[in-house]
Structure 1
Amino acid sequence: MTMYAALLRGINVSGHKKVPMAELRTLLTELGHGDVRTHLQSGNAVFSSASDDENALAAELERAIEKRFGFPVPCLVRDGAYLEAVAAACPFPATELEGRQLHITYYGQPVDAERFAGIDPAAFLPEEFRLGDRALYLYAPDGLGRSRLAEALSRPSLTKGVIATSRNWNTVVKLVEMTAPTGTADDGART
């Protein structure tokens, strides 16, 4: 069995697309997954599965959510080893920063530097970004809500045709812990 994280995009924001975490845990269990847990209310779930196909797991979850809740929710599914590798590859000094200052945007497919060629990095300093494997690392010293670079990176022309969802560093670390083979971290939300 492999531990996975499901990253749901755009739920429970300003009262829109409400997906209660208890119902998400129930849904994942009904789909046959084990060790189901959630983290926060923003669409983070972990589960175990015998499947080795992240895309199939994401598609299955998207269909089930739309059937249960009546609206589409883009989902990414990544295994624990991948999440750990992405966190370990962070080009910024994560241990020296507050969790709100560092974010990872996970993408549904690889994105190349060409997509972001129109962004002048010097215009946004001290904010910075770096590309990784199906991920973008964003350093925003004043947090995401005040980040001009985050706004620029989320323009429809840059995100067209790809699923993208961001998590702050605290959530990144928590999901790595929750999908670790020992599964030691737990927020108490388990089915």
Structure 2
Amino acid sequence: MTTYIALLRGINVSGKKKVPMAELRNMLTNMGFLNVKTYIQSGNVVFESQEESTAKLATSITKNIQITFGFEVPVLVKTRANLEKIFNDNPYTNAEAIAQKQVYFVLLKNPPELEFVEAFSSEEYVNEEFKITNSCVYLFCKTGYGKAKLNNNLVERKLKVESTTRNHATMVKLLEISS
């Protein structure tokens, strides 16, 4: 049995794509997943499964959300071990920046192509720093994520890879509840 974290993108934002967490937990339990837990309303789910393919899990969850809730939601699935590695590889570890909610993780569904990484890496953004890896774009937004030019949509557009963003505190909590 492997512990996974599913990250749903763009649900329960401004009253759109409403997915009640209790209903999501029920749906996932009915799919055969064990120890299903959710964290906050923005689509963070921890569960256990015997399935070994994160891609198959993501496809299955996406399909079941479409059937259950009537709309498509991008779903990214990581193993707990993979999420822990992404967290530990974060280059932005300044305690003050973390406390001021300036550190973000743009989790990538697939590794980006080298040509897109090279082109994006050469760009600069005022008051913002970033580091691109195969599984995450780490963001340090000195004036906060809400004011940042570097956001999930920009990363997806530049790297041509589906992604979803979580802050440092959410990453810590997901690792904690998936232990």
Counterpart amino acid of 1:8? L
Q: Deviations over 1:103-153 (max 9, x none)?
A: 11111100145325156544x243100012311100002211011233783
Counterpart amino acid of 1:135? C
Q: Which moved more, 1:170-179 or 1:80-89?
A: 170-179
CA separation in 2, counterparts of 1:2 and 1:16? 32
Q: In the alignment, is the contact (CA less than 8 A) between 2:102 and 2:145 conserved in 1?
A: yes
Counterpart amino acid of 2:111? P
Residues 121 and 64 (structure 1), Cα distance of their counterparts in 2 relative to 1, 3 Å cut: same
Counterpart amino acid of 1:28? L
1:177 equivalent in alignment to 2:176: yes
Q: How many residues align?
A: 177
SS of 1:148's partner is: coil
CA separation in 1, counterparts of 2:70 and 2:60? 15
Q: In the alignment, is the contact (CA less than 8 A) between 2:2 and 2:79 conserved in 1?
A: yes
1:143 equivalent in alignment to 2:129: no
CA separation in 1, counterparts of 2:23 and 2:153? 34
Residues 113 and 169 (structure 1), Cα distance of their counterparts in 2 relative to 1, 3 Å cut: farther
CA separation in 2, counterparts of 1:167 and 1:8? 11
4+ long deviations beyond 6 Å: none
- Over the matched positions of the two proteins, sequence identity in percent amounts to 41
CA separation in 1, counterparts of 2:54 and 2:67? 20
Q: In the alignment, is the contact (CA less than 8 A) between 2:106 and 2:152 conserved in 1?
A: no
CA separation in 2, counterparts of 1:155 and 1:57? 21
CA separation in 2, counterparts of 1:25 and 1:152? 27
Q: In the alignment, is the contact (CA less than 8 A) between 2:54 and 2:79 conserved in 1?
A: yes
Partner of 1:51: 51
TM-score (structure 2 length as normaliser): 0.90
Partner of 2:166: 167
CA separation in 2, counterparts of 1:65 and 1:164? 18
Higher relative contact order at CA 8 Å, sep ≥6: structure 1 or structure 2?
1
Counterpart amino acid of 2:166? R
SS of 1:166's partner is: strand
How much does 1:53 deviate? Answer: 0.7
Residues 7 and 128 (structure 1), Cα distance of their counterparts in 2 relative to 1, 3 Å cut: same
Residues 78 and 152 (structure 1), Cα distance of their counterparts in 2 relative to 1, 3 Å cut: closer
CA separation in 1, counterparts of 2:73 and 2:16? 11
Structure 2, unaligned runs of 5 or more: none
Q: Which moved more, 1:95-104 or 1:130-139?
A: 95-104
Structure 1, unaligned runs of 5 or more: 181-191
Q: In the alignment, is the contact (CA less than 8 A) between 1:121 and 1:128 conserved in 2?
A: no
Q: Which moved more, 1:113-122 or 1:23-32?
A: 113-122
SS of 2:105's partner is: strand
Q: Deviations over 1:150-186 (max 9, x none)?
A: 3783463x254x2210001111111112222xxxxxx
CA RMSD of aligned residues (A): 1.9
1:72 equivalent in alignment to 2:72: yes
